Amino acid sequence: MPFFKPLLIVLAAGGAAFVLSGGRADAQGTTLHGTVGPAFNISLVDASGNAVTHLEKGTYTIMVDDKSEEHNFHLQGAGVDQFTPVETVGTFTWTVTFTDANYTFVCDAHPTLMKGAFAVGTATPPTTTTVSKPPLPPPGKLSAAVGPGASISLKKSSGASAKTLKAGKYTVSVRDLSKAQNFHLIGPGVNKSTGVRFTGRATWSVTLRQGTYRFQSDPSKARLHGSVRVS
């Protein structure tokens, strides 16, 4: 019966395709979520929020939320090499195809501290999957103030003027009590200021590197300024 023949062929082809794909999970369209920062943390999780340790091979969408200007997310392995910029914060979407191999994700700035790994397909899973949160020295604390009169200061937690500091992370609590002045901290890798008309408090997290940092009120910088040496 020639009339039915094309229909039978279609059915057979559909059945064969189903059998072929039935043996393995189809990864097509699966989305994974990578996160790095704001602290020293990096992770890759599936839609349920579980850490990725093993995947079926296939094509995935990777959405990365890079929350830090000090860290990045770098995904590497057979056929895959995708990374976010270290100095940029933002979300990134990649389409990647994983084959039978091990893959790693690291922060390029802290590759020994911030890393993870997973296996795909028949690859042997890596022995450790690390999501590191290493103990770090707590950030130093600094108090910055400008106003209410013609005054500006940057002090250590002891209350002493910050003339010299060790390089590292600091939390700066800023009190801007003047509607005509601001507090502006400038130096290697740092350029932060309150608004001139702004009054109130601000908290900044900064990483101070070796060098000289200057603080000033921009409208009166000849008069209201100071500096701190970082070693």
- Which residues are at the interface with Cu ion (CB under 5 A)? 71, 107, 109-110, 114
Q: Which two tokens stand for residue 160?
A: 């002493």
81 or 100: CB nearest Cu ion: 81
Q: Cβ(185)–Cβ(204) under 8 Å?
A: yes
Helix (H, G, I), strand (E, B) or coil at 21: helix
Residue environment code for 184-208, b if the CB has 16+ CB neighbours within 10 A, otherwise e: bbebeebebbbebebbeebebebeb
Which residue number, 109 or 202, has a Cβ lying nearer to Cu ion? Answer: 109
CB of 66 to Cu ion, least distance (A): 10
Closest distance to Cu ion from the beta carbon of 135 (Å): 15
Closer by beta carbon to Cu ion, 110 or else 221: 110
Min CB(167)–Cu ion separation in Å: 17
What do you get for the CA distance between the two ends of the chain, in Å?
Answer: 91
Q: Which of 124, 68, 84, 130 is nearest to 104 (CA)?
A: 130
CB of 68 to Cu ion, least distance (A): 7
Tell me whether residue 110 or residue 209 sits nearer to Cu ion (CB atom): 110
Spell out a b/e string for 4-23, using b for 16 or more CB atoms within 10 Å of the CB, else e: eeeeeeeeeeeeeeeeeeee
Residue placing its CB nearer to Cu ion in the complex, 57 or 71: 71
Minimum CB separation from Cu ion for residue 170, in Å?
18
With contact defined as beta carbons under 8 Å apart, do 193 and 214 qualify? Answer: no
